[in-house]
A and B are shown apart, each in its own frame.
Chain A
Amino acid sequence: MEDLSYTAILVRILAQLLPVWIALVVTFALSVSFKRRLGLYGKLFDSPVGMIGFGMVMFWVFTAILADMIVTFDPYAQFSGMRNVPLGTALAGATEGDYSHFLLGGDSLARDVFSRMVMGARSVLSIAPAATAFAFMVGITLGVPAGYFGGRFDTGLSFVANLVLAFPVILLFYLLVTPEIVDHKILFFSAFLPDATELACRAKDSVTADTFACFGLSIPTMLAAVLFIFPIIFISILLNARFFTNPMKRNLYVGVVLVIGLWAYSGLAFNMDPLGVWSMEPNLLNVFVSVVFVNAPTVFRIVRGIVMDLKARDYVAAGQTRGEGPWYIMLWEILPNARGPLIVDFCLRIGYTTILLGTLGFFGLGVAPDSPDWGSTIDEGRKTLNMFPHAAVVPALALMSLVLGLNLLADGLREESLRD
């Protein structure tokens, strides 16, 4: 087998991404033909910038979803003789059924850079939007009442938010995402325990460690316990405020939310789901929690600012005169009117979260050392950056294009939402 020329590499990559192109064409064709009936989403297709941004984002979303069809090799597999090979090298000793070339070369552990980049999209896009959504839930649940009620509650929360924002992000990551802190349990009853019992609690493989007196949580778990409860609170209050006058319906909806929410909560935060459906790797939980923790205060400040602005409007006064409860006004009258800037910020923030995840990977604090996510691969590739730049440049450009797409999308959305 011969090595490929640059044109041949490009053609082959485009062909390999065929499922993505088909999905993109279908999405755009459907969206453009129904754009008048799709609200803000439809208006996006009136703005060229927004359309380009949306295309770039959806490209990576479809790549992530269809990654299994696109990859040419197992992203974790190593192939002998393929260490640091340049772009388009033919696979040495290819057998029947193998793809014939390393399209974007090999990395320092002889793995296929193209497949790792494609799988990296899945890894990044499965964390960043979810983490951003959690940060938004926390920020909205605290920011809306802080802006609406003001007073001590607002002062206290703002102080805490500013504290978190004053913390250098990288220092926080180094302090939170180290194995020692993940393993170390803070014992809740430590103050009441004799030293011997505490030692017994800490000893490995001891029976006492499971007893009630030894109950303790690691710092990331505690953070998760606090941060993950907010979505449940938010949705419960939201439904309660809406269906307050109809107790039957209210009880049903809020009950369903509480059952599903607390079930997921027990699994995600404490890894104690009785049925074993919800769970999260400790390392992933750690990364996820730190990213949510860093993002939430900024969302809080934005939401608080918008609510303080909107609460002086006439429709809020009208609602108060009608005798509507404060939570109904906050969540069903003010919040829908704040959706424009919030959607724009959500797009920007997913990009920012992607950058943060990359930073974590860059410092070797990512999900797992051999994970194909872009930050970790850039970190690995930079060690051979001078002689074999492709291993780091490919994921770097991938990350940049995703974030750029999100920024352009946000810009297009902002333009279109300001127009009406």
Chain B
Amino acid sequence: MLIFVVRRLGLMLLSAFVLTFVVFYLTNLPPNLEKLARSEGSVRMTDEAVAQWIIDNGHGGSVLGRYGQWLGVVPGWSNVDEKGVPRGRCFAAGTDPALAPRYCGILQGDWGYSTYFRGPVLPNLGEKLGATGILMLWVMIVMIPTSLLIGILAGMREGSRTDRVLSTFSIATTATPEYVSGVVLVALLASPVTGLSPLLSEWGLIDGKILFQGAASPDRITFWSFTLPVLTIALYGIGYIARMTRASMTEVMTAQYIRTARLKGVGFRQVVLRHALRNALIAPFTVIMLQFPWLLNGVVIVETLFNYKGFGWTLVVAAGNNDINLLLGCSVVAVFVVLVTQLISDIGYVFLNPRIRLS
């Protein structure tokens, strides 16, 4: 068990380094740096001036060296510009370089300067992650019980009418990506001209013009503003998890020990709740954990659609504005989330499944 965990951890670290290097390489390609130079320096810089700016600001030299600096395992760059002011990675222009630390990368907690937020990356990113955390919490609260319930009800009696209805519903939700369900939900429930809102407003059942709000903000979390974003993300996941739960449940329900329990005279309810459920929920656990990377996708789409200023919105803004450090920060978080959930799902599967744990 221990060797297994250590090996998995080692592989995870290796993956993290490779992935962050790839992102670093792609975000620090010469054209991106030239664009950065023109937006930070001046638009009318000559090509030579741009090249000089790139070198002066520590973007020259080999990619590996710069990656090491960003990571914090290679000493940060420093030089003196033409006005005689010392500049460097680890200190603000004009301060004494002697006082600055030698290494300053993400390992030291210095995630760089965001050109979009005009401030350090880490606190800004942390705040946005918090906002996304709240959104995800509600998504989980809605998604997991609903999908497990649908899956168990459908898988309990395979081929029954309940099974057919619920399975069709699951297939329909997996066929509806977030940008489709979001658009349809807004049109149905949050538009003053179509769907339910004009009807309800005419009958005097709601005060405003719309039932739910088509935009959300982390500062004002209300039922009316949060329902649509949460529902949009949850819907896509519900179908998938429900189908996996159903498959696992139907398999368990045909197992020998269930038949034995039935023949002993245990009631159907008892069989499902006491005997089947525990074994049927092992597979969905893995699926729910592996669903996190997908939720990340959903979060980006939904936050863009509902203009909710969280992690996904930050990623889009960083990519759109060529904010290299912010984009790198976002990718570190994303890669970390994916790899950690993979690890938890692997270890959890072994831990939950006595057949593997004991052998």
Contacts and interface: CB of A to CB of B under 8 A. Distances in A.
Contact of B194 (A355, A378, A389): A389
Contact of B175 (A169, A183, A400): A400
Nearest to B290: A165
A389 B198 CA distance: 14
Contact of A400 (B31, B180, B330): B180
Contacts of B316: 174, 363
Q: Secondary structure of the A side of the interface?
A: helix
Given A166-B293, A359-B177, 18 more contacts: A166-B19, A167-B338, A168-B297, A171-B23, A181-B29, A184-B29, A359-B179, A363-B304, A375-B179, A381-B183, A385-B186, A385-B191, A386-B186, A389-B186, A393-B187, A400-B175, A400-B176, A403-B175
A381 B330 CA distance: 28
Contacts of A167: 19, 22, 335, 338
Contacts of B196: none
Interface of B: 11, 15, 18-19, 22-23, 26-27, 29-32, 35, 171-172, 174-177, 179-180, 183-184, 186-187, 190-195, 214, 293, 296-297, 300-301, 304-305, 315-316, 319, 327, 330-331, 334-335, 338-339, 342
A399 interface: yes
A61 interface: no
A393 B27 contact: no
Interface residues of A, number: 46
A381 B179 CA distance: 11
Contacts of A363: 304, 316
Interface stretch (A91-99, A280-288, A329-337, A404-412): A404-412
B35 to A, nearest CB: 7
Nearest to A180: B31
Contacts of B195: 389
B177 to A, nearest CB: 4
Contacts of B339: 166
Nearest to B30: A184
Nearest to B300: A170
Nearest to A181: B29
Nearest to A399: B180
A181 B177 contact: no
A175 interface: yes
28 contacts: A159-B11, A163-B15, A163-B18, A167-B19, A168-B335, A170-B297, A171-B334, A176-B26, A181-B26, A184-B30, A359-B177, A359-B179, A362-B304, A378-B179, A385-B183, A385-B186, A385-B191, A386-B191, A386-B214, A389-B187, A389-B194, A390-B194, A392-B183, A397-B180, A399-B177, A399-B180, A400-B180, A407-B175
Nearest to A408: B171
Nearest to B171: A407
Nearest to A186: B29
Interface string A154-180: 000001001100111111001110101
A396 interface: yes
Contacts of A386: 186, 190-193, 214
A174 B171 contact: no
A375 B183 CA distance: 12
A238 B186 CA distance: 51
A170 B315 contact: yes
Interface in A323-371: 351, 355, 358-359, 362-363
Contact of A392 (B31, B187, B296): B187
A77 interface: no
B187 A175 contact: no
B15 A387 contact: no
A382 interface: yes
B35 A174 contact: no
A163 B19 contact: yes
A168 B191 contact: no
A404 B175 contact: yes
Given A180-B31, A386-B190, A389-B193, A168 B180 contact: no
Nearest to B14: A159
